[in-house]
Amino acid sequence: MPIPILMYHNIAQAPKGVKLRGLYVSPQRFRRQMALLQRFGYQGLSMTAALPYLRGDVQGKVVAITFDDGYRDNLENALPVLQDIGFTATCYVVSAAVGGDNRWDAEQLGVHKPLMSAAELRQWQEAGMEVGAHSRHHPRLPELQESALRDEIRGSREDLESLLGAPVTQFCYPYGAAGRREQDVVRQAGFLAAVSVRRARVRPGKENLFDLPRVMVGGHHGPHVFPLQIWTKHEDRH
């Protein structure tokens, strides 16, 4: 059974006039999506908890839940839902921007979105959720020289482990941009897996763990799309 790795960004109402409204899923819609998964017997898992299923070592009705960038609204609006339903999730954090905002795309999107502080990341972690790395500064990794590439990848892990006092073993490529070189550096930096933005559900035991596809859950989709993404080949065709 293919396993969806769900990709979210903001769990909040999209501000008026903001560009790329698909990066926002309202708290109400997020709750309905998680409740639907629970109703049909699925367990929502962080990436580390999902790895045995993704590798094909064990079987079960699971989805992996991921959030990119580390926005404060993940803590405020997603965490209560996850706790109520008993799911876990992974939030990929830009380590040099902790407590700041989305400076890498604020101008493009037309909005500055607050990121979780160190204390808020610890709160996320203490609630049973996972923190993954999303580079130090959110660059396009294939454009970097070797030394800068290693600093962005390994440095993000070191930053977050120092901040949180816990292992950080999951990575997410900024903009989903990565080739074999970037995948190799992530592996060498000690990460266990890495996610892209390639659209598909995971075929257990048949995927490169350092190029895992995901299912983007967007606020621009009609409510009927989410079930199609989970239960049909809607995403696998792309």
- Reported CATH class of domain 5-231: alpha beta
Q: What is the pLDDT of residue 207?
A: 95
Burial of 8 per CB tally in 10 Å (0-12, 13-18, 19+): buried
Write out the H or E segment, with its range, that includes residue 58.
none
Q: Is the pTM of this model over 0.85?
A: yes
Q: Which residues of the chain carry a pLDDT beneath 50? A: none
Q: Domain map of the chain by residue range? A: 5-231
CA distance readout (Å), 179 to 24, 85, 153, 200, 235: 28, 37, 14, 17, 21
Q: What is the pLDDT of residue 238?
A: 58
In the block, tokens 């990460």 appear at 191
CA 87 to chain centre: 14
End-to-end CA distance of the chain: 18
pLDDT tens track for 128-145: 999 999 999 999 999 999
Q: What is the pLDDT of residue 223?
A: 83
Q: What is the pLDDT of residue 205?
A: 95
CA distance readout (Å), 168 to 62, 90, 104, 165, 214: 22, 11, 23, 9, 20
Q: What is the pLDDT of residue 211?
A: 97
The C-alpha atoms of residue 24 and residue 47 are separated, in whole angstroms, by 21
